[in-house]
Structure 1
Amino acid sequence: MTAAALPSSIERPVEAGTVQVAPGVHWVRMPLPFALDHINLWLLEDGPGWTLVDTGFNSEATRALWERLFAGVMGGRPITRVVATHFHPDHMGLAGWLAPRFDATFHATLTEWLYGRMLTLEPDELARPQVERFYRAAGLPEDMIEAVINRPNGYRRAVVPLPTALHRLHDGDALEVGGHRWRVVVGRGHAPEQACLLDEARGLFIAGDQILPKISPNVSVWPHEPDSDPLSDFLETLRAFKALPADALVLPSHGHPFTGLHGRIDELVEHHGERLDETVAACAGPATAYEVMQAMFTRKLDVHQTRFAVGEAIAHLNHLVRQGRVVRKRGAGADRYRRA
């Protein structure tokens, strides 16, 4: 592993506490109800208040920890600006609770805000037919298809209705926070328009889920865009991020802050190259996306994990179809893929 974590003397934050990783930059850690059991948030000192990057998941546990932070280490200073890197519930889940509480402005890219708005407002009955078509084409067993299409919209439970006013972030925009300049650097693939933040003067990079130190960010195809190629977007972003400072301190959304950005990028590119080769091998005989997923992920998966895993398998298959390395045959039932 070329990504080097912070010195072991810098411990992760205690519950309802923070760790200052640079002057005015405070690391907060919130719980998640998943195997990936935490998210890192970033409180930036900003004059008389705070700019918050990402919010945590909408749960009683997270809200209770925020209440303790308000009363404790935040010193009564208000959150004046909420920045969401992307629309996933652990990042945007409490934006609609925190922003109005402090009359804070809400900042995100347009695509991420619209995705979040869509998922919180879309009725289950409107989405269900396309969800069924998608997973039937992927070759999921019938009982699993039934479990997926009858699963309530978990996004609505995990995300408070989002702020209705957006301060839109664009790639290259500058945010002035506490006398420091953070440049918006958009990453794609894990999410469609994820806003990362670079303080080039101090060598700090808030990477969201685009670059993680120990695991590869999930890159998946979802029912609303079945023919998309997010893996191309992800790999293009990795190549573009090689222009960022090699010695930056990376502040990821999961795991420990680390250095060695360029080396970690190389590892992620290599990982997906290996995954693509594995996917081609799994298509030696015609195979469904579900069968390819089983070759990629050999451990037993529950329904929730299967949705992410089959989405990642389809992301690799769609990429290979576009490259001409795999051929897809569509029919009345499941799509089948074979090596070209």
Structure 2
Amino acid sequence: MTEVTPPRDRLEKPTLVYPFEKVPEVGQVIEVAPGVVWMRMPLPITLNHINVWGIEDDNGWAIVDTGMQTEANLSAWRQIFANATEQRPLTRVFVTHMHPDHVGIAGWLTRKFKCRLWMTRLEYLNCRVLAADSGRQAPEDALAFYRRAGWSGAAIENYQARFGNFGKYIHALPESYRRIKDCERIQIGQHTWRVIVGTGHSPEHACLYCEDRKLLISGDQVLPRISSNVSVHPTEPDANPMQEWLASLAKLKQEVPDDVLVLPSHNECFRGLHARLDYLALAQVRTLERLRQSLKQPKRVVDVFTTLFGRSIDETDAGLLNLATGESVACLNYLLHQGAVTRILNEAGVALYQARSAEGLP
């Protein structure tokens, strides 16, 4: 997964506390609390790692997230199993959400240990749908979405050639799963973990909060050094995920106290949850206002990249172009839903966005 992080208008970043001096080497573990271990899996992209977590369970270990389906990742898991001082099985596999770096090895692990996949319904079903796109041609609705955004013919051709790669990094999911729900309390070993569902980054992202241990496994909902990509996708072009993500940040602040140790999917474990949530929300609101102010003249989606990300996006970098486009549409759709901008299609069928007035956002 590559993150597209907007500039922050010199907003002062909060001081977070990182209690661990080192990160785990591939194939090794670090204990972050009694019976809770931190592992790190390699990713073949710019964001070169994902953190996964082990929680001591009855007669074995539950894990949260898995890494992508790659040979390097499979090797890392085999090394962890070989290095274990006690050969205890996995009892279940929790997955926070459907992105390949989180769910990629879940099918392999559940089959190897004959255990269940625990996941929210929308994440499981969406993952199955996207993985089934492998080998298909890019649908016309998707091509129309990117043409409306202002993509060139070369960028469209590149997208068509790459379409269906999602399933490449995901081992076939099990045919059944154990659904987890918002507010559900799940006993793992001697402790209870509560599911807190957020949206915006993905359809039904599950965080896990253990009140008595003061631990929050945050997935991608809150990260200490980067902001999660929040995108609109061709399957739901009028969605407003940015509003959902902002609401999810507020929900986390309300439901989880500030004194937790946050165990995120990327970067390092940290303390200072509320300050980080406040920063992410305020920075995004400032970014949205900066975008609105830049729309005094009509602009295409591809014209707002510099405003949002502080630089242009090379259309030959297909993965980054896709993420930047999705997040730009998410920001523009937010403004559309607020009534702050208008959208029309020009004679070529490309969407043009323009601010309604000089007034601030509601």
TM-score band, normalised by the shorter chain? over 0.9
Question: Which digits, 9 at most, give the CA deviation of each residue in 1:60-105, with x for residues without a partner?
Answer: 0000010111111263211110000000000000111100110011
Counterparts of 1:324 and 1:223 in 2: how far apart (Å)? 22
Aligned residue for 1:325? 340
Is 37-46 or 144-153 further displaced after alignment? 144-153
1:184 pairs with 2:195? yes
Aligned partner letter, 1:335 = A
Counterparts of 1:114 and 1:157 in 2: how far apart (Å)? 17
Counterparts of 1:3 and 1:108 in 2: how far apart (Å)? 33
1:334 pairs with 2:345? no
Counterparts of 1:182 and 1:209 in 2: how far apart (Å)? 18
Question: Which digits, 9 at most, give the CA deviation of each residue in 1:130-187, with x for residues without a partner?
Answer: 2201100111111111111221422111111111111000001111111100000001
Pairwise CA RMSD? 1.4
Aligned to 1:150, what secondary structure does the other structure show? Answer: helix
Question: What is the percent sequence identity of the aligned residues?
Answer: 40
Aligned residue for 1:267? 279
> 1:126, CA displacement in angstroms?
5.7
Aligned residue for 2:331? 316
TM-score normalized with structure 1 length: 0.96
Using CA pairs below 8 Å that are at least 6 residues apart, which structure has the higher relative contact order? 2
Aligned residue for 1:171? 182
> 1:330, CA displacement in angstroms?
2.7
1:289 pairs with 2:301? yes
> 1:34, CA displacement in angstroms?
1.0
TM-score normalized with structure 2 length: 0.91
Aligned partner letter, 2:61 = W
Determine if contact 2:134/2:168 at 8 Å carries over to the other structure.
no
Gaps (5+ residues) in structure 2? 1-12, 357-362
> 1:227, CA displacement in angstroms?
0.5
Gaps (5+ residues) in structure 1? none
Determine if contact 1:109/1:168 at 8 Å carries over to the other structure.
yes
Determine if contact 1:94/1:160 at 8 Å carries over to the other structure.
yes
Aligned partner letter, 1:313 = S
Counterparts of 2:160 and 2:137 in 1: how far apart (Å)? 11
1:58 pairs with 2:69? yes
- CA gap 1:237/1:308 in 2 versus in 1, 3 angstroms: same
Aligned residues: 339
- CA gap 1:305/1:273 in 2 versus in 1, 3 angstroms: same
Aligned residue for 1:303? 318
Is 125-134 or 38-47 further displaced after alignment? 125-134
Question: After the TM superposition, which residues 1-340 of structure 1 pair with which residues of structure 2 at under 5 Å, given as runs?
Answer: 1-2=13-14, 4-8=16-20, 10-73=21-84, 75-122=86-133, 124-125=135-136, 127-243=138-254, 244-297=256-309, 298-301=311-314, 302-331=317-346, 332-340=348-356
Aligned to 1:5, what secondary structure does the other structure show? Answer: coil
Determine if contact 1:18/1:73 at 8 Å carries over to the other structure.
no
Aligned to 2:284, what secondary structure does the other structure show? Answer: helix
Counterparts of 1:48 and 1:5 in 2: how far apart (Å)? 34
Determine if contact 2:219/2:264 at 8 Å carries over to the other structure.
yes
Aligned partner letter, 1:277 = E
> 1:123, CA displacement in angstroms?
5.0
Determine if contact 2:28/2:39 at 8 Å carries over to the other structure.
yes
Counterparts of 2:128 and 2:294 in 1: how far apart (Å)? 37
Counterparts of 1:209 and 1:164 in 2: how far apart (Å)? 25
Aligned to 1:4, what secondary structure does the other structure show? Answer: coil
Counterparts of 1:286 and 1:181 in 2: how far apart (Å)? 52
> 1:122, CA displacement in angstroms?
2.7
Aligned partner letter, 2:97 = H
Counterparts of 1:114 and 1:165 in 2: how far apart (Å)? 11
Question: Which digits, 9 at most, give the CA deviation of each residue in 1:256-277, with x for residues without a partner?
Answer: 1111111001100111112102
Determine if contact 2:136/2:163 at 8 Å carries over to the other structure.
no
Determine if contact 1:218/1:312 at 8 Å carries over to the other structure.
yes
> 1:4, CA displacement in angstroms?
1.8
Determine if contact 1:117/1:162 at 8 Å carries over to the other structure.
yes
Determine if contact 1:250/1:257 at 8 Å carries over to the other structure.
yes
Aligned to 2:162, what secondary structure does the other structure show? Answer: coil
Question: Which digits, 9 at most, give the CA deviation of each residue in 1:291-331, with x for residues without a partner?
Answer: 11243231444111010011000000000001011111134
Counterparts of 2:349 and 2:126 in 1: how far apart (Å)? 29
Counterparts of 2:157 and 2:29 in 1: how far apart (Å)? 43
Determine if contact 1:131/1:149 at 8 Å carries over to the other structure.
no
Aligned to 2:38, what secondary structure does the other structure show? Answer: strand
